[in-house]
Amino acid sequence: MKYPKILTIQDISCVGQCSLTAALPILSAMGAETCILPSAVLSTHTGGFTGYTFRDLTDDMPAIAAHWQKEGIRFDAVYTGYLGSARQIEYVLDIVRNLRQDGAPFIADPAMADGGKLYKGFDDAYVEAMKPLCFGADVILPNLTEACLLTGIPYREDYDDAYIRTLCETLHGNGAKTVVLTGVHLHEKYPAYPEHSDLTGVVIYDGETLRCYPHRRIDRSCHGTGDVFASVFTGAYVQGISPYQAAAFAAEFTVRSIEHTVDDPDHWYGVKFETQLPWLCETLGKELA
């Protein structure tokens, strides 16, 4: 197993099992030295909590990056999640350009929208600022809403395979080398799940081949699952696992985490991914053996 040095840039929501509080333990469990650059510190995430505190760390980012550059610190991968402003995106672009080892991958999770809507505090100008970051990535990890915003293709809840292919081809055509599109509803039965007529899946497109990994659909929305998926994908991908296999691995871990949370009505603010870390370590070890 490799021992990569991964930099992840996103916020710290102190309570809520998302962003850096998910990325740091997951990537560490997957054998990576995990370095962090917090974009903001919040008392909780913003999904369902009220009165949360927010500390913007934008002004700290360039000084941190300058210190790393002075010390000759370089990273074997950079993985970005939730960023709080367009100005932060400019700083992150500089980090991606200047602080990666030669050939080190850049994985971008747009983390700005879902359900056809932008997250609170974001606007069209933020989407425009996000485009050069995403279109310069080795792997982009959008959900359907984010893919539509980045491409200008109208968001639809009812769609066919051609619509999904167009989204993926447009993202790739704009510069994203590999597209991993999450939360895609599938409309056919798969042998692995004969009891299901409607599944959710992950679509992977590398500019030549479009593949889909179907997984069980759980009828409950959970905060932080996108961050959990992106972190597992990044950990697997940086270990040399193919994008398709990394996406499948991340999807299974995310589903398992939801399944171990749904029976606890008091745990509405995230998923109990920590309970599945032993499975993650064991399965990754087998994959890399």
**pLDDT tens-digit profile of 158-182?**
888 899 999 999 999 999 999 999 9
What does the pLDDT read at residue 206?
96
pLDDT in tens, 241-268: 999 999 999 999 999 999 999 899 999 9
Beta-bridge mates of residue 186: 199
What are the residues whose beta carbons fall under 8 Å from the beta carbon of 198, sequence distance 6 or more?
Answer: 185, 186, 187, 217
pTM equals 0.94
Work out the percent of the chain whose per-residue pLDDT is above 70. 95
How much is the mean pLDDT over the chain? 92
Domains and CATH numbers, the chain: 5-280 (3.40.1190.20)
Return the DSSP state at 285.
H
φ/ψ of 274, rounded to 5, equals -60, -35
8 A C-beta contact, residue 273 and residue 26: yes
Q: Of 57-61, 135-139, 263-267, where does mean pLDDT reach its minimum?
A: 263-267
Establish how many alpha carbons lie within 13 A of residue 70's alpha carbon, considering only the half-sphere containing its beta carbon. Answer: 6
CA distance 166 to 171: 9
Reply yes or no on whether the pLDDT at 197 is more than 90: no
The helix-helix angle for 243-259 and 277-288 (nearest 10°) equals 160
What are the residues whose beta carbons fall under 8 Å from the beta carbon of 37, sequence distance 6 or more?
Answer: 7, 8, 9, 61, 64, 65, 95
State the pairing for strand pair 139-140/106-108.
parallel
Closest CA to 180 of 146, 214, 140: 140
Reply yes or no on whether the pLDDT at 189 is more than 50: no
8 A C-beta contact, residue 134 and residue 150: yes
Reply yes or no on whether the pLDDT at 216 is more than 90: no
Return the DSSP state at 58.
G
Q: Of 128-137, 173-182, 219-228, where does mean pLDDT reach its minimum?
A: 219-228
